[in-house]
Structure 1
Amino acid sequence: MTTPAYDTVIRNGILGSDSGLAEGDIAIRDGRIAALGLGLASGLNEIDAQGRIVLPGGVDTHCHIEQMSGAGVMNADTFETATRSALWGGTTTTVSFAAQHPGQRIGTVLEAYRKLAKTGAMTDHAFHMIVADTSGENMSDLAHAIDGGNRSIKIFTTYDKVRLADAEILTTMRVAKEHGALVCVHAENDAMIREATARLIAEGRTAPRDHADSHPRLAELEAIERMCRLSELTGQRLMIFHVSTREGVEIIRAARARGVPVHAETCTHYLFQTRDILDRPDGAKFLCSPPQRDQVDQDALWTALGHDELELVTSDHAPYRMDETGKFLHGRDAPFNKIANGQPGLELRLPLLFDAMVSRGRLGLARFVEVTATAPARIFGLETKGAIAVGKDADLVLWNPEREHVLPEALHDNVGYNPFAGQRLKGHADIVLRRGETVIADGVLHAQPGSGRWLSMRQAG
């Protein structure tokens, strides 16, 4: 009896990439893509992809998992529940945060998060190291962690417990530059937010809808400009997280024209929500920072995606339940500045974008693959992820482009609500493979907690 040449062969599908569509089959051996073409030899397992589009598994490089926020509120999701939800939405790789708080050692924090992920994560995963304390041995810890393959750092310019002063940011950038890491930044001006918040509270404007005015657009613009100038000074690669404004895109465009090594992303909630969503009776569900902006900003973000000025779309998954453990830790009548910020998004990112970009034709399939898989893998140095190519991990999603479905009230995470519940989408992730193993099929999850692997980041650009 002839031994099959491959572990798995996916046949009769249309393969999608950042350059478009092509007919072909995919052969998988030892978790990697071993061959592409037509008429490939047999596999021990054969998957018929007739009528489906085969795309790379999603790479979500901005999600908060099993993390204590700077305001002292614990995420609703564990690594098990968050990554379970990610797989259901077609995302096979996540990059979440190892969140240092003042007084903690970076190395100790990173090891604690790695242990949590090792027992719970179902996606392959890496970490951004949040730097909130540069004192003592922390910069030595940071250098050691970077050299060990943790090549992404997150800094904040606002929030009491995590924000860094400019001098500390420069110190962090110098270490990152020397050791080959990317610095990501939440860029908002802290003083502007404090002043606006105090004024609103004094005026009795405390509802969720007032949150949008507590984070003035100028707070984002000033901080993006300042961070670009610090990048220009140091030559350090920079990623601006969650760009929400038209002018923010313009600042990034101008910085790149000067040769500043700056990347930028936006998030699904800025592409599909505007600030008027905060006017709803359940507006607390949708609070996030920066807040949603106006239609002119949303249009500008879509245009920037089409021009590669925004290079990727992430979920900024920040899960808090609508109860006393999460959004209402300070009571159901708490003012907006006491309501936990964030929305669930890991499971929703790809379905929402597939419907908009592929089914409805806004920017197209090639750009969908680029901003959800290929670009994040490239920018963050996840060299085995993000593309259908020989030698890459066999992280694959078989999309049914004709299947319509209505988003449910709750998802597969531990949040208990869905900010896009009731929306009808066209295009569905029917089958998901992670390193050649079928983890979602026929409406059943087959992955086990802890089956995801930690990923070393390479120096990339």
Structure 2
Amino acid sequence: MSSSGDFDLTVRNGRISTASDTFHADIGVRGGVIAAVGRGLPPGRQDIDAAGHWVLPGGIDSHCHVEQLSGMGVMCADDFYSATVSAAFGGTTTIIPFAAQHRGNALPEVVADYHRRAAEKAVIDYGFHLILSDPTEHALQHDLPALIREGITSFKVYMTYERLKIDDYQLLDVLEVADREGALVMVHAENNDMIRWIARKLVDRGMTAPKYHAVAHTPLAESEATNRAVALARLMDVPILIVHVAGLEAVRVVHASQALGLPILAESCPQYLFLRAEDLDLPGLEGAKYCCSPPPRDAASQEAVWAGLVDGTLQMYSSDHAPYRFDESGKLPKGQDTTFKDMANGVPGLELRMPLLFSEGVLKGRMSIERFVAVTSANHARTYGLYPRKGTIAVGADADFAIWNPDREVHVSSAMLHDQVGYTPYEGRTVRGWPETVVSRGRIAVRDGKLHVQRGSGQFLKRGTPEPVLRQRLKGESNSILRQFLGKATEEKA
């Protein structure tokens, strides 16, 4: 038993939940790390009585866009300061945004620039994914392996967007490098030609309102590309992660691949639980506030995403925070003449990600508190090489946690949020349950509605090999169709 005053911080009498257990205990923090979990711990130099509250691991948002230039050349509204402040007020203590390569960019320069931006501004801890849009031979064989060794062990590729997409041949090259170097590939799966063809037909007929964004991005484009990405991963016997799953058919493709024993992971986002395609059908350009890719779908798809998050088909719940202002700097580059093809794709959600799910999932009985912790924190840490430093409440873990008041009701408005977007697609909703105190590496980051940490005090997280990749490597003999063929060809040649 530690003596009184031995802890920098204690949180006593809380109801603690991890991804596997719920129990009542105190937490003692020393040097930014959880030093003790047990009953009857003495007060520390700072002491919080959490009686009547839930103490949960800090959220990890592993899919958000921060201070990033889009493929259309639009800069996000949020920089690393506003984004990390917003995340902290929503109970999130770690973010993993994207260092985005555009064609012609050298990966080391992209990452160096992103490091500089984050180090100057972030108030909570952060890692990076890469966005890989120009997989040259030098990038694949030299730059990418070097960056993986520096702790950037995951990267995203696009199957759509003309300025970002790679083709199937290039994706196979990327998967080969990921397999060799121990990294995880994230895939934005939509069929670009389907979307482009439908969009041209719509525009030719003068159908340019925001609601036609959801028509062009047909659910078939998502499910076909998801199936194709799974097939490419199967050829290589390499894990992949399908990001922002939106539609019923895509959920079924992921579930079917997992039933075959394939190492396919997937995530979804608030917009696919709480928004629908009909939200895009508003007067004028108001529907643009709800435009993201893939777009929100129908009620059946909403239910499929809910079910997937609960039953484990979808392992993670991320924000896909894509903050563009509702003006000519973001959503409406051509003002009132902006068509659905012109507007920036994406919705904000970093701060509301966890409160929305806590309110509608946990407190309404749709998911257990342990599952909530898994999909908002623990599974992100496991998937992206941060566990057990992040994603749990246990001795030796970073002291990242939030103290939730399950009875507090919050009426959502853009004015109460801490991002720089100026609107929220969840305006007017009432959320029950809120993270009132947030602790980041033992520092009280948010308390009494105020920020208590400084700009630039967040730390970069050098991540290890992603857990899905480790599991795949432990399987032993590969099931890769390609390797079996190449092995047989080599034997015949010998």
Fold equivalence (TM over 0.5):
yes
Q: Is the 8 A contact 2:409 2:432 kept in 1?
A: yes
State which of 402, 405, 410 in structure 1 corresponds to 2:407: 402
Deviation at 1:136, TM superposition (A): 4.5
Deviation at 1:160, TM superposition (A): 1.2
State which of 435, 439, 442 in structure 2 corresponds to 1:436: 442
State which of 219, 222, 225 in structure 2 corresponds to 1:223: 225
SS of residue matched to 2:244 = coil
Alpha-carbon distance in structure 1 between the residues aligned to 2:241 and 2:229? 10
Please give the residue correspondences for 1:290-369 in structure 2 after superposition, counting only pairs within 5 Å: 290-369=294-373
SS of residue matched to 2:37 = strand
Alpha-carbon distance in structure 1 between the residues aligned to 2:311 and 2:85? 33
SS of residue matched to 2:8 = strand
Deviation at 1:3, TM superposition (A): 6.6
Which position in structure 2 is the counterpart of 1:21?
A: 22
Deviation at 1:107, TM superposition (A): 1.3
**Comparing 289-298 and 129-138, the one that deviates more:** 129-138
Gaps of 5+ in 1: none
Which position in structure 2 is the counterpart of 1:57?
A: 58
Alpha-carbon distance in structure 1 between the residues aligned to 2:349 and 2:243? 15
Alpha-carbon distance in structure 2 between the residues aligned to 1:224 and 1:182? 16
Per-residue CA distance 1:151-196 (angstroms, 9 max, x = gap): 0010000111110011111111111111100000100011001001
Alpha-carbon distance in structure 1 between the residues aligned to 2:124 and 2:172? 33
Which position in structure 1 is the counterpart of 2:183?
A: 181
Gaps of 5+ in 2: 469-494
Which position in structure 1 is the counterpart of 2:424?
A: 418
Alpha-carbon distance in structure 1 between the residues aligned to 2:222 and 2:344? 20
SS of residue matched to 1:338 = coil
Which position in structure 1 is the counterpart of 2:475?
A: none
Q: Is the 8 A contact 1:212 1:275 kept in 2?
A: yes
1:375 aligns with 2:379: yes
Q: Is the 8 A contact 2:57 2:400 kept in 1?
A: yes
1:392 aligns with 2:392: no
Alpha-carbon distance in structure 2 between the residues aligned to 1:332 and 1:208? 12
Deviation at 1:214, TM superposition (A): 0.6
TM-score, normalising length from structure 2? Answer: 0.92
Percent identity over the alignment? 46
Alpha-carbon distance in structure 1 between the residues aligned to 2:327 and 2:57? 36
Q: Is the 8 A contact 1:20 1:365 kept in 2?
A: no
Q: Is the 8 A contact 1:58 1:90 kept in 2?
A: yes
Deviation at 1:409, TM superposition (A): 2.8
Equivalent position amino acid for 1:56 in 2: P
Q: Is the 8 A contact 2:4 2:42 kept in 1?
A: no
Per-residue CA distance 1:253-283 (angstroms, 9 max, x = gap): 1212222211000110000011010012311
Alpha-carbon distance in structure 2 between the residues aligned to 1:201 and 1:347? 35
Give the RMSD, CA atoms, in angstroms.
1.1
Equivalent position amino acid for 2:73 in 1: G
Q: Is the 8 A contact 1:409 1:422 kept in 2?
A: no
SS of residue matched to 2:307 = helix
Q: Is the 8 A contact 2:410 2:430 kept in 1?
A: yes
SS of residue matched to 2:356 = helix
Deviation at 1:224, TM superposition (A): 0.5
Equivalent position amino acid for 1:397 in 2: A
Deviation at 1:204, TM superposition (A): 1.0
TM-score, normalising length from structure 1? Answer: 0.98
**Comparing 325-334 and 200-209, the one that deviates more:** 325-334
Deviation at 1:122, TM superposition (A): 1.3
Equivalent position amino acid for 1:402 in 2: D
Per-residue CA distance 1:35-56 (angstroms, 9 max, x = gap): 1110123312111111111000
